[in-house]
Chains A and B, each alone.
Chain A
Amino acid sequence: MQLVLDPEQQELRSAIRKFLTDQSPSARVRSAMESADGYDRELWRRMATELGLLGLAVPEQYAGAGAGHVERAIVQEELGRSLAPSPFLGSAVLATDTLLALDDEAARAELLPRMVAGELIAAVAVAEGGGAWDRTGGATTASRSGDTWTLDGTKTAVVAGDVADVVLVLASTPDGPGWFRVDPSASGVTRTTLATLDPTRRLAKIAFAGAPATPLASADAAAVLDLVADLGAVALAAEQTGGLERALEMAVDYAKVRVQFGRPIGSYQAVKHGLADVYSDWEQGLSALRYASWAADHARDELPLAAALVATYVGPAYFRAGTLCVQYHGGIGYTWEHDAHLYYKRAKSTELLFGSPARNRARLADRLGV
């Protein structure tokens, strides 16, 4: 296993960090999160066209860069640090991985190059309640009449669902779960942008009432879901690890300059030790992240366990860091104008996005054979 980045990967990180530091400072993050779209369209365009980030883990035949999940995790770490609102997780991670895992070459060839170019946003709709991904397709049903299919049911917590041009839906059919492609502007589809804890990431509810759908070919729809969920868990953990690191840096920087009772608050052990714990969480979480993204590229048989591991560990760790980041900033950290709350909210929302921590632990236990 390889847990240390090579020089090219380190260069990639530096380039993305510089780009996001310059192009997505706090003011841009805030204007994007308050905009009608909820994300920074210009930033998204430049991520696609100037940096080629949207297709890093996409094979070259679909206009991608043919790199891997280690590289994509670097992008996600940096996006997590900056909090830049973007449809990356929904489109460049979940929907991209779904298309790559399905056996529908025509859909891949049609959609992926446009997604990589930033011309088209796709989203994946699986969860129905509580965020958990049900392998059966849940209560959303697909019915066939002649050559046409329609969907009925409601999916929720759809990442990038509010801005998606294409939605990939897992639904129940008489023959088991199946994947379908839906045009969200079609009649019979109702999208609701949900009110969210985290203002930097929008989520949508999508209701289908006899909505026209195109089946997507796959030999094993549930296996596709499992793989997409694992790769998504790794990408989410990368975002969390990057956010954790930034929350720690903010708290440490502040603890060095905030003076109370005649000395910097970081000199008090109560504060210092809390920050040391967060650092310890970050070092270990980063190690698990590097392992899981390495497994995604080089040891697919280890991925299910590695993905469950990193999800179990990093989610709660990020929220601890977000909590202490607000806490050690004190009153100023509780204000809207300070960024600490954005990390706190992103931490909690990513911890619960794909279901409860208890579910993560149960899945890890399953995969350990306990």
Chain B
Amino acid sequence: MSRMSVPNGSPTEFQEYRDGVRSWLKANAPASMPSAAELIPAAKAFQAALFDAGYAGITWPKDVGGQGLSPAYQQVYSDEAAAYELPVYPFIIGMGMCGPTVNDLGTDEQRTGYLPRLLRGEDIWCQLFSEPGAGSDVASLQTRAVLDGDTWVVNGQKVWTTNAQWADFGALLARTDPDRPKHSGLTMFVLDMHAPGVTVRPLKDMSGRAPFNEVYFDDVRIPVDAVLGQVNGGWNAAVTMLGHERVSIGATRKPKTNPMEFASLVELARDHGVTGDPAQRERLAELYADERVLDLFNVRMRQETMAGNPPGARGSVAKLAGALLLRKAIETAGQIAGSDTIAWEPDDARGAGLALGINSAPASSIAGGTNEVQHNIIGERILGLPKEPQVDRDIPFRELKVGTQRG
């Protein structure tokens, strides 16, 4: 397949590639989503099939099992895959964030050891960054890694860890030198999630579901060759990974049916007989406009990617706008349906869906970087506005009043 060696392609090559993706997905996409019990084996089987077909790690280098193609080809695949609900959720952290970071920063041994297994669906990964005392300010994290002979010994706690319940490996950010300022005493490790001393507990969120976990480390031993990047160079590694996260979130497509989408809310308005009310019609039109312009912005970013200009930090615009859109949607739903939004027959799926939408809205404004952090990213990295003075930047971490170090 000669096209795989070219860094970018011609329209004909993209079209050929698109045709191939389309027919492969048509033949191989599972007809329905697996049940919760079957999710992991089904996801592993599908990831392996993707790998065999050449659609896993499209932009990853060939020496680790990828295809070595430009982001434009990944975009073609993503466009086509958006028509399907695929069992890929367990791999999103590994494929979207951890894998690309191992590729960027790992030794040859790490890259060839971890990445082919990830691409073939053999290992699930999670990201171990956030802590109870370190959310937006993740550099203030307190999980400690202490060198003991030829192993690091880890103690501490992580939180909001997506997919940890299934994970084989985690990309762990831990403090290795508390005498340095907070950003310069961190190290990233590849952690074996099956190692003794790792405990994963589901964390129930305000929607009543448990998509996240808390992860505890009690004297977990990590070999020295599991350091990713440089010792005390973990902040650089974290920034690398968060850059991949933005791209990954920006590329995520919404599921087909969502009770908070315009089309669903129009149905709701019809059923409540309020589509003749000018105020309701205006509200729906405004919601449509916000939803559609965000879609169009995502299309534009994808077309720019195809043209060789990946969006970079502009992914934050889409993330922020999506979170604000959801807030407007839940307000619209309430204006339309009144108390039917908050009380419904137990077997009424729409009532449950609306409530879930209301209860999920805060997550999109917090997870993956809060709206406030997205505003800062846009202001500082896109518009070039100065950062706020950072009072804790040059002070040894152990002197800071953060987390449990509040005295």
| Residues in A lying within 8 Å of B, measured CB to CB | 1-4, 252, 255-256, 263-264, 266-269, 271-273, 275-277, 279-280, 283-288, 290-291, 309, 312-313, 358, 361-362, 364-365, 368, 370
Contact = CB atoms under 8 A, between A and B. Distances in A.
A272 B300 contact: no
Interface string B380-391: 101111111100
10 contacts: A3-B299, A256-B384, A287-B293, A361-B281, A361-B285, A361-B286, A362-B278, A368-B266, A370-B281, A370-B284
B230 interface: no
Contacts of B16: none
Contacts of A4: 300, 303-304, 307
A269 B385 CA distance: 10
B289 A276 contact: no
Given A1-B299, A269-B372, A277-B375, A309 B284 contact: no
Given A276-B376, A287-B293, 6 more contacts: A252-B383, A268-B388, A275-B383, A276-B383, A287-B300, A361-B286
Interface in B282-329: 282, 284-286, 288-290, 292-294, 296-297, 299-300, 303-304, 307, 314, 317, 320-321
Contacts of A285: 293
B386 A264 contact: yes
Contact of B285 (A271, A277, A279, A364): A364
A312 B314 contact: no
B379 interface: yes
Nearest to B377: A276
B145 to A, nearest CB: 33
Interface of chain A, main secondary structure: helix
Contacts of B385: 252, 255-256, 264, 266-267, 271-272, 275
B371 to A, nearest CB: 9
A252 B297 CA distance: 22
A370 B386 contact: no
Nearest to B269: A370
B242 interface: no
Q: Which 3 A-B pairs have the closest CB atoms?
A: A272-B379, A276-B378, A266-B385
A370 B293 contact: no
Contacts of A368: 266, 284-285, 288
A263 B389 CA distance: 9
B281 A309 contact: no
Nearest to B311: A283
Contacts of A2: 303
A362 B285 CA distance: 7
A307 B180 CA distance: 57
A365 B386 contact: no
A370 B275 contact: yes
B294 A284 contact: yes
A76 to B, nearest CB: 18
Given A252-B384, A267-B389, A365-B284, A275 B293 contact: no
Contact of A287 (B296, B383, B388): B296
Given A272-B385, A370-B284, A364 B289 contact: yes
Nearest to A1: B299
B384 A313 contact: no
A284 B317 contact: yes
B299 to A, nearest CB: 6
Nearest to B288: A368
A280 B377 CA distance: 12
Nearest to B314: A283
A298 B314 CA distance: 28
A267 B387 contact: yes
Contacts of A358: 278, 282
Contact of B317 (A1, A268, A279): A279
B289 A267 contact: no
Contacts of A276: 320, 374-376, 378-379, 382-383
B285 A312 contact: yes
Contacts of B382: 276, 279
A367 to B, nearest CB: 9
A362 B383 CA distance: 35
Contacts of A287: 293, 296-297, 299-300
A365 B286 CA distance: 9
A347 to B, nearest CB: 17
Contacts of B299: 1, 3, 287, 291
Contacts of B376: 269, 272-273, 276
A287 B374 CA distance: 20
Contacts of A365: 281-282, 284-285
A287 B382 CA distance: 17
Given A279-B378, A361-B282, A370-B275, A309 B293 contact: yes
A312 B317 contact: no
B215 to A, nearest CB: 31
Contacts of B281: 361-362, 365, 370
Max count, chain A CB within 10 A of own CB: residue among B290, B297, B307, B384: B297
Given A3-B296, A252-B385, A370 B285 contact: yes
A269 B288 CA distance: 29
Contacts of B383: 252, 266, 272, 275-276, 279
B305 to A, nearest CB: 10
A54 B347 CA distance: 62
Contacts of A277: 375
A266 B386 contact: yes
B276 to A, nearest CB: 10
A224 to B, nearest CB: 25
Nearest to B303: A4
Nearest to B298: A287
A175 B353 CA distance: 53
A266 B379 CA distance: 8
